[in-house]
Every structure is written in C-alpha cells, then in structure tokens.
Chains A and B, each alone.
Chain A
C-alpha cells in the first residue's frame, strides 16, 4: 500500500476549481517534488494531503500509522508571544532536553535551544522548523517551499541537509517548490501541477516535456544554467559545502 495517495481529488474554493481530478501516490522512501507556477494549486494540494483542506471530491488515503513531519512555508510568530526554541520543539508533545539537543545538533544549529524564536536568522529558523518535523520520527516529510526566504547558498545547504537526513532515517520527502533547478536534481519524481497534473516523471523527463515547457517557458533552461554557474562560484563562500555541491552539479548535469 502506498504511504499516502489521492484518488480523483478535487478542491473547490468559493466556486473556483483550484484542483481537479488529481491521482497521486507516494511510496516509502521516495523523493517527490511538486512544481507549478504561482496560483497553480500546489500549496493547496499539499494542504489537502495534510488534511487541512477537505476534498470537494475524491479521497485521500494514508497508510495506517504514518507519521507526517511538516515544514511550513513560513511561520509568523506574533511578537507578543515569547517562545524559546526548546519550547517550540515541545509543542504539542513534551520532548526531553536531550532529545532537543540531539535534533538541533542534527540540523546544524546546536546552540539555539534557549534562544527566542524571534531572534533566529532565516536559515536558523528553517532548520528549527525542520528539527520540529524530525522529532515526530516522520515516515514522510512534507515541505512547502521551505527555502522561500533564503539566499542561494542557504537554499543549497538546506536541501543538502534534507538529503542527508533522508538517507539516515529513510523517510519519504514531498516538497513543493519553484526552486526547480535545485530540487529537481535530487528528486526521484517530479509532478508538475497546474490545477491538474500536467506531467510527471523523472526530473529530466519532466524538464523535456512539452507541457512543462509550456508552463514555465524556455527560461527555465536559463535558470538551470544560472544555478550551475553559481555553484562554480560558491566555493569562496562556503568551504565545507564545496565538495557536495560539485556532486550535486554532476547529478544535475
């Protein structure tokens, strides 16, 4: 049985069809990326899979006992709410100090446990969100444009972290993104959505698909080149990461 699946899924918002007739399934350990232009319903699709948005038609099935680690696109914390990182990680379930220290260490921000969430940088914040998702020992990680506010080196190292984590715990990863060039390389499968599934398959298949090109235009090729170009020049910024990123570029190319 699939980890999570949607059959004939449609979602309507106030008379507008946001999603229609989507069939989708995910297996254990798979990395799937959902891409689509703004307003294509890709975030709605993720929220439907999470159970936030009820389907207007069709159904969503989860295998029994599947635990979902969710990393939202962004999280606005009201400045009136004082929230230390360790407390945030203990919501809603209490976590021990050692569990918290361990997971923060894993995502590369070992020293922030006592800090207020409001004082974290963008990159630290995303890592803490990921840490919280990892605490549930997820069978599937769901990420909604998790790198929206990060600069390019930040984006690359965040995705590399997710790949490392996936290799360690073997969870499936479902991410929604428009960082096509970054995610596509690491994905087993890319699903291109624009209200319905336009095309899906291995990254290079989707990239070449006419439906995909029609949606994103030929400019994507340029973006891809730009990304690889930026890899060549990143070495100065971030020595640790150089090696892995070269690997990345190989995959992509």
Chain B
C-alpha cells in the first residue's frame, strides 16, 4: 500500500504537521521563532558528524539539536541576550557543519537535500521514524498541555500553581529537537522554522482559544503539505518550498479575512 512515493510523502508531511502545529503555537507564544531556526541550522552539523562517524543521520541531528537547544536554554537562563546567543551559535554550528562535510572525501553528499529537504525520497523506514517522532511529540505536548500553557503565561504564576517552569521549558526544548530531527529530511533545515511558525501564525487570525489555534495550525499545516505536494507534482516545483509557499498563501488569506471580519464586527 505504501509503494506509491506520493502517498508516502503525503503521509510523512501530514505526520510532521501534526507535531509542528501545536509546537509551533508555543514557539509563537513564547517568541521562540528564532530558536527553532537556530536549532534547525545546527542540525546540519549533526548531519556532518553522523556522516563522519557513520552513525544514523537521525541520531546525529537529534543529538546536535538537543545539545544546541540545551546550551541556548542555559545561557538564556543566565541572562545572556537570547537573539545574540542564538545568532552566534546557529551560524557557527551551520558553518562548522559545512566545513566538516568538506573533510569527508569519501562521501559526496548533496547538502541541499538537508537544507531544503527531499520529501519525495521518503522511504518506508523514514516514514516509520517520522510518524513515531511526531506522535511522540504530539503526545508529549498533549500530556503537558495545561502546565505548558500556564508556564508560557507567567513563570511565577506557574510556580504558585505547583508547576516547575524549568521542566516545561525542557519539555519544549526536547520536543523541538525531535521535530527538527524527523522533519529535516522532509522540509529541510531552512524550512523547518517556516513550518513551525507560518501555520500557527495563520491560525492566530481566527482562533479564539489556545486549543483552537493549535488545532487550526495542524489543519493548515496538513492542507499546506497536501497542496504543496500537488503543486510539486503538477508543476515540477521543489516540494519543500512548495509546501511553505502554500502555507504562506493561507497565512495571507486568513490575515486579510481576519482584518476584514474585525472591521465588520467593529472591533
């Protein structure tokens, strides 16, 4: 049944959208947009290390993304300026990754596959890894939902309610690392942040509650995956960017519709 590459690609994309929807909402609410970006960039270093040490690329990116996310969390907790720290770490990691790859004469890798993804080449095994990772992240977020939301609102308020905001930050950090690791192959490092943020931002235009925003982001992400792949198939466009283009169009439409609706309601 999973012989058709389009079917595999679509399923893989939908699985990723399932995780990036709610996770992306937290990225938006916590103003971590650049954080997702930085983690994704650093994952390229993971690819290089994985190729160098001949371990699974999934493991390599996962480990580097986790380490990166941890370093950023710790430094931000100590009062370093978040955007500067991210800028230094993300670009250094990306550069180190690119340089490291050039030292691997035996492997001629097409790095653009990791920068922009190659969803059409998803194998059955890839699909299994992606689905597992995404469901894990979705489960993690659903399980911690109320605590995550409270900690996102205000850390002192969370403490007073018996929630440790540090733990919740760690949950998000880990979830982000998992998503980056599984989504790298599909949309690529450069576009992961887009898939996290654009559907969530589009859903914000009509959502009335945190839950409806998360659900909306999943739906918009899913529609973008499907639409982008169709576009890619019919017009031979690159698949990863096509998905993001589709999401961007939805964002544009919901933004315009949202502001028209607001004017009509007189708010």
**A residues in contact (CB < 8 Å) with B:** 47, 50-52, 68-70, 72, 75-78, 80-84, 87-88, 91-93, 116, 136, 142
B231-265 interface code vs A (CB 8 A; 1 in, 0 out): 00000000000000000000000000000000000
Q: Is the CB of A70 within 8 A of B157?
A: yes
Output the nearest chain A residue to B158 by Cβ-Cβ distance. Answer: A92
B170-209 interface code vs A (CB 8 A; 1 in, 0 out): 0000000000000000000000000000000100100111
- Is residue B219 within 8 Å, beta carbon to beta carbon, of the partner chain? no
Specify which chain A residues have a CB less than 8 angstroms from the CB of B154 in the assembled complex: 72, 75-76
Specify which chain A residues have a CB less than 8 angstroms from the CB of B210 in the assembled complex: 81-83, 87
Nearest 4 pairs of A and B residues by beta carbon? A70-B160, A92-B146, A92-B150, A52-B159
- Is residue B96 within 8 Å, beta carbon to beta carbon, of the partner chain? no
Shortest A18–chain B CB gap in Å is 15
Q: Is the CB of A78 within 8 A of B29?
A: yes
- Is residue B163 within 8 Å, beta carbon to beta carbon, of the partner chain? yes
Specify which chain A residues have a CB less than 8 angstroms from the CB of B230 in the assembled complex: none
Specify which chain A residues have a CB less than 8 angstroms from the CB of B83 in the assembled complex: none
Output the nearest chain A residue to B205 by Cβ-Cβ distance. Answer: A82
Output the nearest chain B residue to A52 by Cβ-Cβ distance. Answer: B159
Complex CA–CA separation, A50 to B150 (angstroms): 16
The contact of B213 among A50, A72, A82, A88, by CB within 8 Å, is A82
B1-43 interface code vs A (CB 8 A; 1 in, 0 out): 0000000000000000000000000001111000000000000
- Is residue B152 within 8 Å, beta carbon to beta carbon, of the partner chain? yes
- Other than the known A78-B31, A92-B150, what 17 A-B pairs have Cβ atoms closer than 8 Å? A68-B160, A70-B157, A72-B157, A75-B157, A77-B153, A78-B30, A80-B201, A80-B204, A81-B29, A81-B152, A83-B209, A91-B146, A91-B150, A92-B146, A92-B163, A93-B146, A93-B161
B interface bracket (residues with beta carbon within 8 Å of A): 20 to 34
Q: Is the CB of B29 within 8 A of A50?
A: no
Specify which chain B residues have a CB less than 8 angstroms from the CB of A84 in the assembled complex: 208-209
Shortest A221–chain B CB gap in Å is 34
Complex CA–CA separation, A69 to B162 (angstroms): 11
Specify which chain B residues have a CB less than 8 angstroms from the CB of A87 in the assembled complex: 209-210
Shortest A30–chain B CB gap in Å is 19
The A-B contact count (CB < 8 A) is 67
Q: Is the CB of A50 within 8 A of B149?
A: no
Specify which chain A residues have a CB less than 8 angstroms from the CB of B159 in the assembled complex: 50-52
Output the nearest chain B residue to A91 by Cβ-Cβ distance. Answer: B150
Output the nearest chain A residue to B154 by Cβ-Cβ distance. Answer: A75
Q: List 15 A-B contacts (CB under 8 A).
A: A52-B159, A70-B156, A72-B156, A72-B157, A78-B30, A80-B201, A81-B28, A82-B204, A82-B208, A82-B213, A83-B210, A91-B150, A92-B146, A93-B146, A93-B161
Complex CA–CA separation, A83 to B213 (angstroms): 10
Complex CA–CA separation, A83 to B209 (angstroms): 5
B147, B153, B155, B201: which has the most chain A beta carbons within 10 Å?
B153
Specify which chain A residues have a CB less than 8 angstroms from the CB of B161 in the assembled complex: 91-93, 136
Output the nearest chain B residue to A73 by Cβ-Cβ distance. Answer: B156
Specify which chain B residues have a CB less than 8 angstroms from the CB of A91 in the assembled complex: 146, 149-150, 153, 161
Contact status of A80 and B209, CB under 8 A, knowing A91-B153, A92-B150:
no
Q: Is the CB of B160 within 8 A of A142?
A: yes
Specify which chain B residues have a CB less than 8 angstroms from the CB of A142 in the assembled complex: 160
Shortest A71–chain B CB gap in Å is 9
Output the nearest chain B residue to A81 by Cβ-Cβ distance. Answer: B29
Shortest B254–chain A CB gap in Å is 13
Specify which chain A residues have a CB less than 8 angstroms from the CB of B149 in the assembled complex: 91-92
Output the nearest chain A residue to B203 by Cβ-Cβ distance. Answer: A82
Contact status of A82 and B209, CB under 8 A, knowing A92-B146, A93-B146:
yes
Specify which chain A residues have a CB less than 8 angstroms from the CB of B153 in the assembled complex: 75, 77, 81, 83, 88, 91
Q: Is the CB of B28 within 8 A of A80?
A: yes
Q: Is the CB of B147 within 8 A of A92?
A: yes
Complex CA–CA separation, A69 to B154 (angstroms): 14
Shortest A8–chain B CB gap in Å is 22
